[in-house]
A and B are shown apart, each in its own frame.
Chain A
Amino acid sequence: MADVVVEARGLSKRFGALTAVDRLDFTVRRGEIFGLVGPDGAGKTTTMRMLASVMLPDDGQIEIDGIDVLRHPERTKQHVSYMPQRFGLYEDLTVDENIRFYADLFEVPPQVWRSRADAMLTASDMTTFRARLAGQLSGGMKQKLGLICALVHTPGVLLLDEPTTGVDPVSRREFWEILYGLRGEGVAMVISTAYLDEAERCDRLALLHRGAMVHCDTPAGLKARMPGAMIEIMAADPRPLWEIVRTLPGVKEVLLVGTGVHAHVDDADRRLPEIEQAIGAAGVAASRIARVSPSIEDLFVALLELNGKRD
């Protein structure tokens, strides 16, 4: 398919005995936002690094724009922009100096990068910060600057590793506006995220667990795969709740979350009163019991369960 920009086949990476990325297969097309989701240590960053060819896979292949990345790691770097999870710009350089540095490294003609930078700085309300050192920007502005630097040349592929972690919701929305704009321009994007709402904005999602791909589908497709529903029970001390609820019929999985527990049940309408009753009978305090839409973690756990991969 001419549309496929990124193609990974059997992609694997091991660190000693640990398999960080385990035989991944996926493709990303022009104008597609492809999400990598998974808990800490799932292998998202490692996958990104191999796509950015800053790390060599142990097995498998990557093609970007039809170029074999393993054989020509430098050739694809012209077309790929990578925004690492850890802020990668120079904190002792100003906003302008950082932008210029990356424009120079990618040999973008001056008038091109200047107008691009102007437009993007204006769009992200950062024109007044041009002379400020990057280290003195807020977390959200740092991430936006990272994106601007990544976009100062015109990449065909954009790799974003948790770009909105620590960014306030408003800035996150602006961030996504930019990504949608790029999608319209046909840029292929791979983005890893820890936020459910962001995962839902992706065109397709890959769920990673211990380096392996558990599911890969559109957000709606993934949700459809999750059977049953999620019930949230809030309490100051969730531990006894967890003990009680996990033994009840129809409860597949109970997860401790910060303020309570999430119970994955086969049928919310039927199990909700049962749970209420059981908690009341046990005399355990609970402040709220309600059906909630599954969080990314719930979805993830449920889908893992379904796959029988959880141990």
Chain B
Amino acid sequence: MRLRRIKAIAVKEGLQIVRDPRSLMIALLLPLMQMFMFGYGVSLDVQRIPLCVLDNEASQQSRDLIGRFAASRYFSLVRALGGQRDIAPRLDDGTCRIVLVIPSDFSRSLNDTGAGRLQALLDGTDSNTANIAANYAKAVVSAFSISLQLETVQRKGGVPQSLTPVDVEARVWFNEELESRNFIVPGIVALVMAIVGAQLTSLTIAREWERGTMELLISTPVQPMELMIGKLLPYFCVGLADAAICLALAVFWFDVPFRGTVATLFFTTSLFLLVVLSIGYIVSVSIRSQVGASQIALLLTMLPTTLLSGFAFPIDQMPALVQGVTFLVSARYYILILKAVFLKGSGLTALALPILCLALYALVLVVLAARAFRKTLD
């Protein structure tokens, strides 16, 4: 491997990027547009869900709980129902999307056993909203139970034995405002980076074939590895610029709290970039037309990232086989890392495992990319 040849290719490729202002604009504007498109399009933020309550107990504690729902901006209390038979009509005529039913023994069992039972009835026609509403309701309830326990602890001067379910607790803990956007936006960053990264390199080899420069290039002593490194380098820089745009938008426009360090963010983003740039490069090597390569690259990055990364569909709800497949989706690790860096402020040590997976992934793909290229016309 010769540094001089790598540099020559990187400089040449860089000049070509700079000399083609249109594609450079696309490379920098595309992520911007996609961030907005997905940021608003996919944002699962649901606010002011109409809520009815059926309070069968009418105690201090049940009224406290209802008060919490009413105060939350995720629900708006429409009316209190008189009895069980009012529930179905209210859901049917759309007065509310969710009915909270408080049993008559709510505070008694809460005080006796430390566990109260509630029933939430949801309008399932829009299952997405229903899901979110259910999650919000759980979150409101768990916030309520935490404060209840804290009260108990303060009163008794002890330590609470059990906390609310881990899943719900985690959401409340790391995302106090219960904003689904905070979870969605890091996923969108990963999606945009995957799409844009693979697009960037998908054209680089196909272009040489289409313009007829490849025949001369492969008649020189350049080695496939040199070609790959030289070609990825300038796109890596463009990709980092894209990442900076996406991440800045996430923080300053979408107001996702950022608790980690920029260094961790860019280190892990670099790994992910290596993966997606290599995917684009491999596609570009295999498909000799620019249009074809660009489309295949889009499919290869967008589909798994949207469907199998946990971005839109929770992985733990997938069939076991599909769950296994998600381990092969690099965005899975990156999204996990991004969420942790953003919302928890996790560092390199806390994220050692997903980072290792991502690094391994990058290594394998870079090697594949280097070997994918054959210096022959047939």
Complex Cα spacing A55 to B218, Å: 10
> What's the interface size class on B, roughly?
20 to 34
Contact present for B375 and A102 (CB under 8 Å): no
Interface size of A by Cβ–Cβ distance < 8 Å? 31
The residue from B16, B222, B376, B378 contacting A105, defined by CB atoms under 8 A apart = B222
Q: How near does chain A come to B162, taking the closest CB pair, in angstroms? A: 67
The residue from B5, B12, B212, B375 contacting A97, defined by CB atoms under 8 A apart = B12
Please give, as numbers and ranges, the residues of chain B lying within 8 Å of A54 by CB-CB distance.
215, 218-219, 375-377
Contact present for B8 and A105 (CB under 8 Å): yes
Please give, as numbers and ranges, the residues of chain A lying within 8 Å of B375 by CB-CB distance.
54, 73-74
Please give, as numbers and ranges, the residues of chain A lying within 8 Å of B11 by CB-CB distance.
101
> Is A93 positioned at the interface, with any CB of B under 8 Å from its CB?
yes
Please give, as numbers and ranges, the residues of chain A lying within 8 Å of B156 by CB-CB distance.
none
Complex Cα spacing A91 to B376, Å: 22
Docked complex: A72-97 residues within 8 A CB-CB of B: 73-74, 77-78, 80-84, 86-93, 97
Q: How near does chain B come to A188, taking the closest CB pair, in angstroms? A: 16
Please give, as numbers and ranges, the residues of chain B lying within 8 Å of A97 by CB-CB distance.
12, 15
Contact present for B15 and A105 (CB under 8 Å): no
Q: How near does chain A come to B71, taking the closest CB pair, in angstroms? A: 62
The residue from A49, A87, A88, A92 contacting B15, defined by CB atoms under 8 A apart = A92
**Contact status of A93 and B16, CB under 8 A, knowing A55-B377, A84-B215, A107-B2:** yes
Complex Cα spacing A81 to B215, Å: 12
Complex Cα spacing A118 to B12, Å: 21
- Quick one: closest B residue to A92, CB to CB? B19
Q: How near does chain B come to A45, taking the closest CB pair, in angstroms? A: 10
Contact present for B213 and A88 (CB under 8 Å): yes
Contact present for A90 and B213 (CB under 8 Å): yes
**Contact status of A90 and B377, CB under 8 A, knowing A74-B221, A106-B220, A107-B4:** no
Docked complex: B196-236 residues within 8 A CB-CB of A: 211-213, 215-223
> Is B20 positioned at the interface, with any CB of A under 8 Å from its CB?
yes
- Quick one: closest A residue to B221, CB to CB? A77
Q: How near does chain A come to B242, taking the closest CB pair, in angstroms? A: 22
> Is B288 positioned at the interface, with any CB of A under 8 Å from its CB?
no
Interface pairs (20), CB distance under 8 Å: A54-B219, A56-B378, A74-B375, A77-B219, A77-B220, A78-B221, A81-B219, A83-B216, A84-B215, A84-B216, A87-B212, A88-B213, A88-B216, A90-B16, A90-B211, A92-B16, A104-B4, A105-B5, A107-B2, A107-B5
8 closest residue pairs by CB, A with B: A88-B216, A104-B8, A82-B219, A86-B212, A105-B220, A84-B215, A77-B221, A52-B219
Extra contacts besides A54-B375, A90-B213 (9): CB < 8 Å: A54-B219, A74-B375, A84-B212, A90-B16, A92-B15, A105-B8, A105-B220, A106-B220, A107-B4
